[in-house]
Amino acid sequence: MKHWIQAARLRTLPLSVSGILLGSFYAMSQSMFNWKIVIFALSTTLGLQILSNFANDYGDGIKGTDNEDRIGPKRAIQSGVISPKEMKRAIIITSGLTLISAILLIYFSFKDYNLLFSLFFLVLGILAIASAIRYTVGSSAYGYRGYGDIFVFVFFGLVSTLGIYFMFAKTFENGYLLFLPAIAIGFLSVAVLNLNNMRDEISDRKSGKNTVVVKIGVEKAKVYHYFLIITAMVLVLVFGYLNDFHFDQYIFIVAYFPLIKHLIVVYKTKDTRLLDPELKKVALSTFFLAVLLSLCLIFFLSDVLVNNS
d(CA 42, CA 54): 18
Residue 308 clears pLDDT 50, i.e. is over it: no
Asked if pLDDT for residue 306 goes beyond 60, the answer is no
Query: pLDDT tens digits, residue range 117-170?
Result: 999 999 999 999 998 888 888 767 887 888 889 989 999 999 999 999 999 999
In the predicted model, is pLDDT for residue 304 greater than 60?
no
pLDDT (tens digit, 9 = 90+) per residue, 54-99? 888 887 777 666 556 556 566 677 777 888 888 889 999 999 999 9
Predicted local confidence at residue 148, as pLDDT: 87
- Residue 308 CA to residue 167 CA, distance in Å, equals 26
Domain locations in the chain? Answer: 2-300
In the predicted structure, residue 307 carries a pLDDT above the cut 60: no
Q: Is the pLDDT of residue 10 over 60?
A: yes
Radius of gyration for the alpha carbons in the chain, expressed in angstroms and rounded: 20
Mean pLDDT of 42-58: 90
pLDDT value at position 107?
94
Residue 284 or residue 7, greater confidence: 284
C-alpha–C-alpha distance, residues 224 and 219, integer Å: 9
The pLDDT of residue 118 is 92
| Percent of the chain residues topping a pLDDT of 90 | 55
What is the per-residue pLDDT across 12-22, written as a single tens digit (0 to 9) for each? 889 899 999 99
Tell me the C-alpha distance between 276 and 282, whole Å.
11
Using one digit for the tens of pLDDT, what is the confidence trace for 208-253?
888 899 999 999 999 999 999 999 999 999 999 998 888 888 999 9
Q: How far apart are the first and last CA of the chain?
A: 53
- Predicted pLDDT at 249: 84
Contact 29, 300 (CB under 8 A): yes
Q: What is the pLDDT of residue 163?
A: 94
Lowest mean pLDDT across 74-88, 180-194, 260-274: 74-88
Give a three-class secondary structure readout of the chain.
Answer: CHHHHHHHCHHHHHHHCHHHHHHHHHHHHCCCCCHHHHHHHHHHHHHHHHHHHHHHHHHHHHHCCCCCCCCCCCCHHHHCCCCHHHHHHHHHHHHHHHHHHHHHHHHHHHCCCCHHHHHHHHHHHHHHHHHHHHCCCCCCCHHHHCCHHHHHHHHHHHHHHHHHHHHHHCCCCCCHHHHHHHHHHHHHHHHHHHHHHHHCHHHHHHHCCCCHHHHHCHHHHHHHHHHHHHHHHHHHHHHHHHCCCCHHHHHHHHHHHHHHHHHHHHHHCCCHHHHHHHHHHHHHHHHHHHHHHHHHHHHHHHHHHHHHC
The pLDDT assigned to 248 comes to 81
Q: Which of 205, 200, 177 is nearest to 293 (CA)?
A: 177
The residue-averaged pLDDT of 39-67 equals 84
Higher pLDDT, 58 or 294: 294
pLDDT score of 58: 82
